[in-house]
Chains A and B, each alone.
Chain A
């Protein structure tokens, strides 16, 4: 029977899995009373679903509808003036959701907060560009890579991939070597669709060897002319070894070196 390959996650899987392996967790601790993080959680009020501290940073889970107001409170009341990073994680296969995180920095306290929210597939998230201009590029990248639409973004356009690209590369359903569209993209664009047969799909596998390619490869013992057509098979060429002639210049005699 053919091996089952899940279609919703085509990323590389580990070859060997231990049935009894239980992965440990990165240590998490509760927010300490009276700390700066406690005041942040208090300022956010009932928007906080859960909050904990992990690796020195506060992680706040919120609903995706609250993302703008949460970031506004963090900026205006808690002093988190920089939004250093924002992106998404694909959980479509497991939960049908994306996880979006906003990485916030307080320059005075030198502390960081990660605001995390989950958004179902197909829903759009509110843009935070009015609060942080750094979100302009970051949200465009999130849209480009995951296809999460942004409401009220000033320039809602792809940023890294070409404008006419199909598919969103960082989805788990998108293969590493690119999909069908990707393999024809340049041929279609430069030469036109009618040249597909002539040129063939783009080879995105760097280690691929074409059996009948005599331009770049040759088989030992079956050497043929450059660019010869060997689709009907090729004749065997016996291997010839180079010969060494020993010349004695004093007598002027030549002698074939015996191969050992």
Chain B
């Protein structure tokens, strides 16, 4: 037994000298491939993991607590900081649940723009996944290529809302801005180029001997286990369960769009990697359809609902009553009806849902963010057992967890 004090802290590795000869190592929270702030306490027998305990909370900022102390519109930019790789998905999930709470219909142009941004954000997130996952596994060049394409996508995002990571580009009731000039043209150029880029990554990786050796049959999750652990998104579809919220419980314009849901029955990391590749193609396909829908829409961008949503700026500047309502909504905040709502959406990581309990006050009584990464982190304690220490990095990479939304 160690005697610990401030000068000689507890060293877990001293376990190594025990008779059963298992070594306890700390993986993270500063490990570069721990995807942010994950601390894994791994008990190793030789190179094999006997026990894995994920320790989270290093990035806890109390976002759910903040939600109880902010008005609904004030809180929206905070949702950017959940899954900071795909901010629009968070903004959207939050905005949608508030809209469901107050029963609001969003104008069609706003819907088209939102869906476009969501899919563009999905591409950004998936490119980030493939870049960092390949880098973790050891393929440096894919990282550079994928970040090049991601940069173009982020430029498009920047052209639209001015921000590259924390977009806040979806608001409760619609979107704040119309698409800028030439944005559609740039978008079409990008979506036309993207499949070639995806093909290049696949050429680099799919048949690559090292890539296959590192990913095949690593991190295998059976369908039963995936459901039991609350997996969603690609983690679920990678286990052969065909469930995509965009298809099964359609929101926004997804019921009008043609796209396929790729499913993999291999249940391993390689299968999941192929799903990410295919989803990017599908996202490009969705955006191409949305581009055609855009010109047929009316120019209205925010829902008309004076009780909850401020009028457009022209009206506020010209009409007295609109200004008064805007003043009330800014100083006091909107008061949604009493009741609670849980709205699931398909974020790039999986099922992102917001549970909002409203007591008819301008502050949410309780807001719970159902983050997909939180459950995928929980899965690690079972998934890592029996694997080798070298595969730990692959498995963390393939779960695609982001600590902004794990710790909240």
> Across the interface, do B101 and A89 meet the contact criterion of CB distance under 8 Å?
no
A183 CB within 8 Å of chain B: no
> Across the interface, do B342 and A161 meet the contact criterion of CB distance under 8 Å?
no
Main SS of the interface on chain B?
Answer: mixed
Q: For chain B residues 347-394, which have a beta carbon within 8 Å of chain A?
A: 351, 353, 355, 357-363, 365-366, 368, 370, 374-375, 377-379, 381-382
> Across the interface, do A81 and B407 meet the contact criterion of CB distance under 8 Å?
no
A20 CB within 8 Å of chain B: no
A151 CB within 8 Å of chain B: no
> Across the interface, do B407 and A160 meet the contact criterion of CB distance under 8 Å?
yes
Q: Given the interface contacts A23-B338, A55-B341, A103-B370, does A85 sit within 8 Å of B227 by beta carbon?
A: no
> Across the interface, do B378 and A137 meet the contact criterion of CB distance under 8 Å?
yes
**Can you list 8 A-B contacts with CB-CB less than 8 angstroms, sorted by A residue number?**
A14-B362, A25-B339, A55-B100, A101-B355, A132-B228, A137-B375, A169-B62, A174-B65
Q: Given the interface contacts A133-B378, A176-B69, does A25 sit within 8 Å of B362 by beta carbon?
A: no
> Across the interface, do B103 and A27 meet the contact criterion of CB distance under 8 Å?
yes
Q: Given the interface contacts A14-B363, A85-B355, A89-B365, does A57 sit within 8 Å of B342 by beta carbon?
A: yes
Of all A-B residue pairs in the complex, the 6 with the closest CB atoms, nearest first, are A23-B360, A26-B339, A134-B230, A137-B378, A110-B248, A160-B57
Q: Which residues of B contact A (CB under 8 A)?
A: 6, 56-57, 60, 62, 64-66, 68-70, 100-101, 103, 225, 227-230, 232, 241, 243, 248-249, 331-333, 335, 337-344, 351, 353, 355, 357-363, 365-366, 368, 370, 374-375, 377-379, 381-382, 407-408
* Distance in angstroms between the alpha carbons of A103 and B97 in the assembled complex: 15
Main SS of the interface on chain A?
Answer: loop
Q: Given the interface contacts A14-B333, A82-B227, A160-B57, does A112 sit within 8 Å of B344 by beta carbon?
A: yes
> Across the interface, do B366 and A12 meet the contact criterion of CB distance under 8 Å?
no
Contact pick for A14, options B64, B332, B374, CB 8 Å: B332
* Distance in angstroms between the alpha carbons of A27 and B65 in the assembled complex: 27
Q: Given the interface contacts A15-B332, A57-B342, A176-B66, does A162 sit within 8 Å of B227 by beta carbon?
A: no
Interface string of A1-32 (1 = CB under 8 A from B): 00000000001111110000101111110000
Q: How far is the CB of A17 from chain B (nearest CB, A)?
A: 9
A84 CB within 8 Å of chain B: yes
> Across the interface, do B338 and A24 meet the contact criterion of CB distance under 8 Å?
yes
Q: Which residues of A contact B (CB under 8 A)?
A: 11-16, 21, 23-28, 54-55, 57, 81-85, 87, 89-90, 101, 103, 107, 110, 112, 114, 132-134, 136-138, 141, 145, 159-162, 169-170, 174, 176, 192
* Distance in angstroms between the alpha carbons of A161 and B379 in the assembled complex: 20
Q: Given the interface contacts A15-B332, A133-B378, A133-B382, does A26 sit within 8 Å of B65 by beta carbon?
A: no
* Set of chain A residues within 8 Å of B361, measured between Cβ atoms: 13-14, 23
* Set of chain B residues within 8 Å of A84, measured between Cβ atoms: 230, 232, 344, 351, 353, 370
* Set of chain A residues within 8 Å of B229, measured between Cβ atoms: 133-134
Q: Given the interface contacts A24-B338, A55-B343, A161-B60, does A81 sit within 8 Å of B227 by beta carbon?
A: yes
* Set of chain A residues within 8 Å of B379, measured between Cβ atoms: 133
> Across the interface, do B56 and A26 meet the contact criterion of CB distance under 8 Å?
no
> Across the interface, do A87 and B377 meet the contact criterion of CB distance under 8 Å?
no
Contact pick for A170, options B64, B232, B344, B359, CB 8 Å: B64
> Across the interface, do B230 and A132 meet the contact criterion of CB distance under 8 Å?
yes
Q: How far is the CB of A196 from chain B (nearest CB, A)?
A: 16
Q: Given the interface contacts A134-B228, A170-B65, does A85 sit within 8 Å of B368 by beta carbon?
A: yes
* Set of chain B residues within 8 Å of A85, measured between Cβ atoms: 342, 353, 355, 368, 370
* Set of chain A residues within 8 Å of B341, measured between Cβ atoms: 26, 54-55
* Set of chain B residues within 8 Å of A162, measured between Cβ atoms: 57
Contact pick for A112, options B62, B230, B338, B342, CB 8 Å: B342
* Distance in angstroms between the alpha carbons of A90 and B374 in the assembled complex: 22
In the complex, residue of chain A having the shortest beta-carbon distance to the beta carbon of B248: A110
